[in-house]
Chains A and B, each alone.
Chain A
Amino acid sequence: MNRFRGIEDRCLVAEARRGHMAAYNVLMLRWQKRVFIHIVRLVGQREDALDLTQDVFLKAYQNLKKLDDPAKFPGWLFRIAHNEAFSLLRKNRPEGEMTVEPKFAESSGGLFPIECTLAVRSALARLSDDHREAVLLKFDQGFKFEEMAEILSCPVSTVISRLYTALDLLKRTLAPVNTGGRNELRS
């Protein structure tokens, strides 16, 4: 496997397509954490995320020859991850069920790191699945709008709308308006 380290994804994809398992193993090791963290933050359950991560890499391998441009492997992989995660979310949450309307949390000023982490987790959990995924793809994974649109199979304008709405909701929770030296608390 060592000979494949440091090689670009697109070359590894080409090698894996020719049946070199070692090349695919390097791709898995390279991308597993990012795929796992994306899925676990979407579905919220560690064990489910482990199973789905395995399924993502299995499906990616089985469909590797359908990937038109090997250079687009990351976005293509996250497209599969999106499909797997939302399949589970739809199964666990019947259609039409409303997500919880975000409440406005207490001020984030002066929070300790663990409190900060909990506040962010709580705020993310209160977003709709679509809004949360837009935030994760941008801030966790660093995808550009065009890449996100391919992953989510929607127009760039929809990506921007989801991300901006999510940012507004998160901002109201995590960075409330400061009014005269104390942050505004709303309930």
Chain B
Amino acid sequence: MSCEVDLKAYVVGEVTRNERGVVEDHVRGCQSCREELDRLNLTRSMLASLEDEEIRAASPLCRTAYLSRAGGRLCGAPGR
């Protein structure tokens, strides 16, 4: 891709307001970048859809496990 805009920075939210505007203006007139941005946004959406069943399954165990197991070792003020 020969265009200079950083679509990945835009998708991961690491752009300034000005840079955001530049990207949005550019993709309105550039089909290949628009398609690339669609694919990046789809990838981001799929990552966000990852369910947190690991958390739900482990949460009670997680809490009781290390709060009780570590409890005896976490006494007094932290060491230096």
Contacts and interface: CB of A to CB of B under 8 A. Distances in A.
Per DSSP, chain A at the interface is: helix
Nearest to B75: A21
B29 interface: no
Contact of A145 (B14, B43, B44): B14
A65 B80 contact: yes
Interface in B42-69: 42-44, 46-52, 54-55, 57-59, 61-63, 65-67, 69
A33 interface: yes
Contacts of A24: 74
The size class of the interface chain A forms with chain B is 35 or more
Contacts of A32: 62-63, 66
B42 A175 contact: yes
Interface residues of B, number: 39
B61 to A, nearest CB: 7
A62 B78 contact: yes
A66 interface: yes
Interface of B: 8, 11-12, 14, 35, 38-40, 42-44, 46-52, 54-55, 57-59, 61-63, 65-67, 69-70, 73-80
Interface of A: 16-19, 21, 24-25, 28-29, 32-33, 36-37, 40-41, 46, 49-50, 53-54, 57-58, 61-66, 108, 113, 116-117, 119-121, 124, 135, 138-140, 144-145, 163-164, 167, 170-171, 174-175, 177-178
Given A19-B76, A49-B54, 13 more contacts: A21-B75, A28-B66, A36-B58, A58-B73, A63-B78, A65-B80, A120-B50, A139-B12, A164-B8, A167-B11, A171-B39, A174-B43, A175-B39
